[in-house]
Structures are given as structure tokens and as C-alpha cells.
Amino acid sequence: MTKTEAIEQVRKAKLGHKKWVSYAKAMHMGIAVDKDAIPMMETDCAFGKWYYGPGQIFSDLDSYQAIEAPHALLHQTYMKLFKARRQPLKSGFFVSKSKAKNEKQNNLDGIMNQLIQVSQILLDNLKEFEDDIKNMNDIEFSRLI
């Protein structure tokens, strides 16, 4: 693998992440999305398959290691959003249906905002990782692969 190919893999992984987030946003807006398009586990999405697969050759880099926690948190946040979306409204004698609907939507919006924030952290970390690869000289890079 060349340095250029490694950078292309990172960029492809970033695109996979952005696609995943776009599906999560669509689901949040009520658009029907194939459940397989938004894997819940961080090892099952396109990015995760790269990160926990071929990407492991970079595991000694701090910038690579910094990716794991926000990536896992992103999937945990999505799972929280998915579960909250499926919960029935909590209306009743003291809470009107419209109030319960508003409360649920506010909760969903809050979780979606968390997902977007974590996604941005992940993208920032990926940029730093990509920059680290770009800034390596050929000898440093050859030691990784």
C-alpha cells in the first residue's frame, strides 16, 4: 500500500461515515430508511469495517486511536435515538397527546443534535489522522505497513 492509497482509504471511510449520518438524519426526519443502511454496531458500518479491518495497520498512531471513542459514542447515540423514536407517546390523564408528542420530538431533536456533534468530533479526528499520514515521510510510512 502506498501513502496515496492509504489517504484514499481514509477519505473513503470518511465518505462512508457521512453517508451513514445522512441516513440517520433521514430516519430522524421520518423518512423510511432500510435498517441495514444504518448499522447500530460500530463494527458493522462501512467505516467500522475499515477501521477494525484494514485500518488497523495505523493502530500505533495516536490520531488513529483518537477515532475509536467518538465512533463508538456515535453508534451509542444512534441506538438511543432509534429506541426513543420507537417508544410510544406517554400521554394520559395529566398529559395531553400533543404535549407528549412535543416532548418526544424535543427529546429526539436533542439526541440528534448530540449525534451531529459527535459526528463532527469524529470528522475532526479523521482529518487529523489523514494529516498525520500526509505528513509522514516515506520511511515512517513504510514502518507502518
pLDDT in tens, 108-133: 899 999 999 999 999 999 999 999 99
What average pLDDT is seen over the chain? Answer: 88
- Cα–Cα distances in angstroms (integers) from residue 95 to residues 89, 92, 111, in the given order: 10, 5, 22
Over residues 27-45, the pLDDT tens digits come to 888 888 887 777 778 888 8
**pTM value?**
0.85
In which domain, by residue range, is 51 found? 3-144
How would residue 94 be classed by pLDDT, with cut points 50, 70 and 90? low
Structural contact between residues 135 and 5, judged by C-beta atoms closer than 8 angstroms: no
pLDDT (0 to 100) of residue 87: 80
In this predicted structure, the answer to whether residue 89 has a pLDDT above a threshold of 80 is no
Number of domains in the chain: 1
